[in-house]
Amino acid sequence: MSSFFLFSPSQIRPMKSLTISLILILSFGILNAQKFEVLTGDLITVSDAKKFNVEFEYASDLKVNNKSEETYIKQRADKKEKIEKGSGVEFIQLWYKNRTGQYEPTLIQQFNSFNLDDSQVTTSRNFASAKYTMLVKTNDINPGYANIFYVQAGKIEFDVLFYETAKPEIILCRVKTKIRGGAVADELERIRSVYGNLGLALSKRINRKSLAVK
């Protein structure tokens, strides 16, 4: 399994360029296994885009490990607090802070890192002048598992919707996918790696659609 060894703001450490390169190279092995189920429309309708505005949404009934998000977070925080005082509170803070501070920037970064035959489609936040918007909705999180003997990668179910930025009520394309991340020890890093892999997988698919219509 590939992985992105990415850390929360309080945990970031300098990384060697060689390590980063190896991680990115290995990540492509996962991408071929990612499948997108088209629920509405076709990506061909947005294939003329060179840049997307991107927005993120988390389902109101978001499930984590087959539990409500609130229940899961409380149980994990209570467990951590028993082991080390203060660690439970820190976990809760990072759980939400990492969305905008880590997961979403990682998706954008990895999306923008991919190009195919000199064709590159990019994305960024608050790009109001972009013709199209890509909405990434997180529906279900399996954070994976780790102990001293075994590490199981995380997996997240997403809906990705595409629409004209000026007409958000008209969905041009909607796809559903489950993306697997890296098998790393830290739970929040396993989640972060999923967002990175989704960014790469989306960019790969969209770039291919763009080339197909040229």
Task: Establish if 1 belongs to a structural domain.
Answer: no
What pLDDT band is residue 21 in, cutting at 50, 70 and 90?
very low
CB neighbours of residue 147 within 10 Å: 8
12 lies in a domain?
A: no
Main-chain dihedrals φ then ψ at residue 196, nearest 5 degrees: -65, -45
The size of the chain, in residues, is 214
pLDDT digits (tens, 9 = 90+) for 133-175: 999 999 999 999 998 899 999 999 999 999 999 999 999 999 9
Q: Label residue 213 by pLDDT band (50, 70, 90).
A: low
Q: What is the band of 45 on the pLDDT scale with cuts at 50, 70, 90?
A: very high
- CA-to-CA distance for 148 and 113, rounded, in angstroms? 33
* 86 in any annotated domain: yes
pLDDT of residue 4: 42
Buried b (16+ CB within 10 A) or exposed e, 100-133: eebbbbbbbbbbbebeeeeeebbbeeebeebebb
3-state helix, strand, coil in the chain (%, to 5): 40, 30, 30
> pLDDT tens-digit profile of 172-198?
999 999 999 999 999 999 999 999 999
Which has more confidence, 1 or 211? 211
CA 132 from centroid of its chain's CA atoms: 19
Q: Which amino acid is at 150?
A: Y
The reported pTM is 0.83
Q: Are 4 and 196 in contact (CB under 8 A)?
A: yes
Main-chain phi, psi angles of 7, to 5 degrees: -120, 155
Does residue 51 fall inside a structural domain? yes
Q: Is residue 2 in some structural domain?
A: no
As a whole number of angstroms, the distance between CA 214 and CA 64 comes to: 41
Number of domains forming the structure of the chain: 1
- In terms of Cβ atoms closer than 10 Å to its own Cβ (0-12, 13-18, 19+), residue 30 is buried
The percentage of residues in the chain with a pLDDT greater than 90, rounded to a whole number, is 75
Q: In this predicted structure, what is the pLDDT of residue 24? A: 40
Check: CB of residue 6 under 8 Å from CB of residue 106: yes
Asked whether residue 189 is assigned to any structural domain, the reply reads yes
CATH number of the structural domain spanning residue 192:
3.40.50
Q: Are 170 and 164 in contact (CB under 8 A)?
A: yes
Residue 4 lies in a domain: no
Expressed as residue numbers, the domain containing 140 is 17-212
pLDDT given at position 63: 98
Which tens digit of pLDDT belongs to each residue from 99-117? 999 999 999 999 999 988 7
With 0-12 / 13-18 / 19 or more C-beta atoms within 10 angstroms meaning exposed / middle / buried, residue 181 is: buried
Q: Is the pLDDT of residue 18 over 50?
A: no
Q: Say if 9 falls within a structural domain.
A: no
Q: Give tens-digit pLDDT for 57-115.
A: 999 999 999 999 999 999 999 999 999 999 999 999 999 999 999 999 999 999 999 98
Does residue 193 or residue 21 have the better pLDDT? 193
The angle at the Cα of 178, spanning 7 to 39, to the nearest 5 degrees, equals 135
